[in-house]
Structure formats: structure tokens, C-alpha cells
Amino acid sequence: MRRSEITLFLWWGDVLSGSPGLWLWELWGCVVWVDCGMSPVHVLLEIRDLRKSFVAPDGSRHEVVRIPEFRLEARSQMALSGESGTGKTTFLHLIAGILAPDSGSILFDGQNVALLSESERDRLRAGSIGYIFQTFNLLQGFTVLENVLLGMAFGPGADRSRAMELLTRVGLADRIHHYPRQLSTGQQQRVAVAVPIAVGDNYRGYRLVGTTTNQFEVEYSKGQRFRLQPGGRLFDDGFREAVVGSFAARKLGLTIGSEFKPYHGLNFDPKAQHEETYVVVGVLEPSNTPADRVIWIPLAGLQNMGGHDASTSTDVSAVLVRLRSPMAGQQLDMLYNRQGNRMTFAWPIAKQMADLFEKFGWFDAVLAMVAWLVALVAVGAVLASLYNSMHSRRRDLAILRALGARRRTIFAAIILESATIAAFGMGLGFLVYAMILGVAASVIRAQTGVVLDPWQPAWVWLWAPIAMVLLGALAGVLPAIKAYRTDVAGGLVPES
């Protein structure tokens, strides 16, 4: 099996009844074993020469599981990951007794599952093996409570009080009589990652943001994650510690070990200083994102800062989410934007960003029109300059014709001259561009921390020079026609 980012879980210990047992937890592409409740030297699961294959539609047989040896001891944890189709779920089904192997042995607590009949495997699974499915697999005709009680009924017996206790622990106490289709989006696991943030304080004008450490684990750009400078670490929840963005640290002179007291409000007011003292435990590497200008502290630290309203101690300003699928976005949009009135869900991101840029898109269009106008004026200047020079160069052209130069040679020479002037102007323009953008990038980085790369590749770098050279060549057509029609005899007459 090949490695993957997705995992599958197995547990030892019956979550419902509290008695020992093997728990299998299947996530999107991975399996983990967790064992508890027996002696550490006890072998809970032992597999030898296990094989399982399936017959393809064309009649050929494909082996999906082949495990020479595998052991899981009591009080141990194990994770198995692999790409889709490599046999993880089949392996899980074999251990649980849902499938029978082609050959080999599966010793669960000393009992060979492979030799049991189907009904015996069902009883073993009901009494000793718990199964958390990859998808919800809830029975739609039963309520939340009834789904839990039904699962317990096949094992040690339905225990309503225990079921209520478990549902309360996962925040479903007020939804025990709901049917699966009535569960909220969070309960349906539509969000893969959620990062809460809270704002409301600053330090000398730089925003303090309360969050959790998973903020630094997600990718802020494809393949890019936040990294700490050497010697630093992330803050610990429950302590007055801070992680500082690179630009804020440089401007404020904060380093690892520095201490500071925040100020209330989003704008700096020297009279609104808090009593709490925070210690800098980490400084982020530059990311060229707004995070460079932020001072990050634990979420609870900002929520419970002195002077804040106690009734808002559990509030957050926003939650950054990464969805499991586009369908999840549609469901959240329906729940919060079209049915609810307490929160707003910014989705789809592409549309939201398009709406934002549309508000000042007219300015971008005006700049583009000005750029094209400048280009056309430059082409007109080249045309006028060459056309007016044809009279003073009339004798030179006549001499060339007298020496044997063809009309088309003269025509092509004028076109080439015009294109060369345009190319030279284009090169000079790029030189000026580099100088202006270089200075502007330095000033912007010093003032805001945002890094501008004047040489970032873009298609305009390819088509703009070609377009300008072609326009320059086009500007030389009229002067070239005038040179083409030069009277050789009249041009050779000596000037008085």
C-alpha cells in the first residue's frame, strides 16, 4: 500500500458500553488502531498470511490484500494510510468480519475470525468490535437517539442513559429527536478545517488576533504554510504568549522573549493599555500575507482580556473554513445566507472576490485605456517623424535607387526602421518600469510589509512587446509608401 494524506482508525475499547473491544475508525483514506483496557503484553490482533482478491468484470482476479504478518498489542495505537483503491477498506472489513479472507488467519484476542461462520462473526462484531464508518450511514427513518440505541442493542444492550450521556458529550443533547436529514452542517461534517479568530485589541497600532494553533498548520497558498524563525515556537493555549508576524516584529522591535502589554481597540490609544503582559515565543518567517502585520495570541486570551464585556467572552469575529467539497459550500450558503440571519457565509470565494474587485474595476479599466492611448500616441509620433523626414532624405533615397536598390528594398528598410524605433522605445520603457517599480516596491515593503515582485512572470511580458513592435512597423507603412514613390531623376537634381 502506498502512503497518502488520508487515514483509517481502529480502536480497542467499547465507546458505548465501556467494556473492552476493538474500535475501527475509517476516515477518508486512512485507518488507525487504538487499543485500551488490557495488559500491555497482550496481543489483541494478530494476522498471518492474509489474502483477499476480487474478480473483475472481465473475469480476471485482482489481489487487493496480501499481508504476511501483522500484530497489534493492547494499549497501542497504529495508523495505516494509502491511496484510494489500495485495499485499506477491504483490510478493515476483513478484520471486522464483514468479509471472509481467501486464505490466512485473523486472530482477534486468540480467536481465529477467518474460521468463524457469518453469524458468529456478526455476534463477535456486535459484542467486541465497534465500527465508525467513513460516511455517516445513519438510518434515515430513526432519530439520532434511536440510531445510537439501535447500535447498542446488537451489543451489550440498549442503555438510554448511556446514549444520552454520549450525545451530550458531542453536543447533540438538544437534537436527540431529530432525524439525520435535520442535522446541521457542522454535525454533517461539511467543514474540513475551521479556524476561529477574534479581534478587538492592538499593540501600538498593530492588530492583535486571537486564534488557535491550527491557524499556522493550514496552507495560506498552494504548498505554502506558515513557518517560524529559528528558536521560536507556537504559543500555548492558557498562557499569555504571542507569535508575531515578521513585519510587525521588525517595526515594533519585538524578538523572542520580548514582553508587551496590549491596548484596547483597533486603533492605538496610549490611554487604553491593558494590564495583561504577553511574552513573544515565536516570530513568523515572511509570508507576504496580512499575517506578517499581525500579533497572534491564544483565542481565550483575547476573549477574556481585562476590560472586555464578560458576556462576549465566547464570541469570535470570524471563522476561516476549508470545505470538504463544493457541495458543502452550497449547503452552508443555504443555511446561513438564505435561511439564517445571524452569520454571513462568504461563498463562493471566486464570486465574492469578483464582486469586491468589481467595485473599483472601473479604475483598472481607465488605467488600461490610458495605457493604450499612450501607446497609440507613441505610434503616431513615430509615424509623423518618419513621414516628415522623407522630404529631407529624398536625395539619399534617390541615390540608393540609382545605385540599384529596388523599390521594395527601400519600402522594407523604412518598415524595419520604424519597427526598430518601437523596439528601442519598448526596451527603454522596460528600463524605466524596472527603476520605478524597484523604488516603489522598496517603499511599499518598508511601509506595509507587502512584497512586490516587479519581475513576476505574466503573459503581458510576451504579447506587449510583440504588439508594440507590430504597431511600430504599421506606423512605418505611410513613410515607406512615400519612399517607395520617390522620383529618382528629380531626387538627383543638385540642390541650389
The answer to whether the beta carbons of residues 486 and 401 sit under 8 Å apart is yes
Residue 476: its pLDDT value, please?
85
Residue 244: its pLDDT value, please?
96
What is the SS3 assignment for 486?
coil
Residues in the chain with pLDDT values less than 50: 1-20, 27-40, 185, 188
Q: Write out the three cell numbers for 84.
A: 484510494
Residue 378: its pLDDT value, please?
85
| Cα–Cα distance for residue pair 272/287, rounded to 1 Å | 31
pLDDT tens sequence across 230-247: 999 999 887 899 999 999
Q: Write out the three cell numbers for 19.
A: 467494556
Residue 132: its pLDDT value, please?
67
Residues whose CB falls within 8 Å of the CB of residue 175, separated by 6 or more in sequence, listed in order: 144, 167, 182, 183, 184, 187
Number of C-alpha atoms within 13 angstroms, CB side, residue 404? 0
Q: Write out the three cell numbers for 87.
A: 485495499
| Cα–Cα distance for residue pair 53/87, rounded to 1 Å | 10
| Cα–Cα distance for residue pair 322/156, rounded to 1 Å | 39
| Cα–Cα distance for residue pair 496/488, rounded to 1 Å | 17
Per the DSSP assignment, residues forming a β-bridge with 182 are none
The single residue listed with the C-alpha cell 523604488 is 439
Q: DSSP states of 55-87 as a string? A: E-TTS-EEEEEEEEEEEEETT-EEEEE--TTSS
Residue 404: its pLDDT value, please?
78
pLDDT tens sequence across 188-232: 455 667 788 889 899 999 999 999 888 888 888 888 889 999 999
| Cα–Cα distance for residue pair 10/389, rounded to 1 Å | 87
The answer to whether the beta carbons of residues 401 and 488 sit under 8 Å apart is yes
What is the SS3 assignment for 492?
coil
| Cα–Cα distance for residue pair 377/374, rounded to 1 Å | 5
* DSSP count for the chain of H helices, then E strands: 14, 19
| Cα–Cα distance for residue pair 332/344, rounded to 1 Å | 10
pLDDT tens sequence across 329-369: 776 776 677 665 667 877 777 676 777 767 777 777 888 88
Helix axes 361-392, 460-475, angle to 10 degrees: 30
- Pairing label, strands 278-283, 129-132: unpaired
The answer to whether the beta carbons of residues 188 and 52 sit under 8 Å apart is no
Number of C-alpha atoms within 13 angstroms, CB side, residue 16? 25
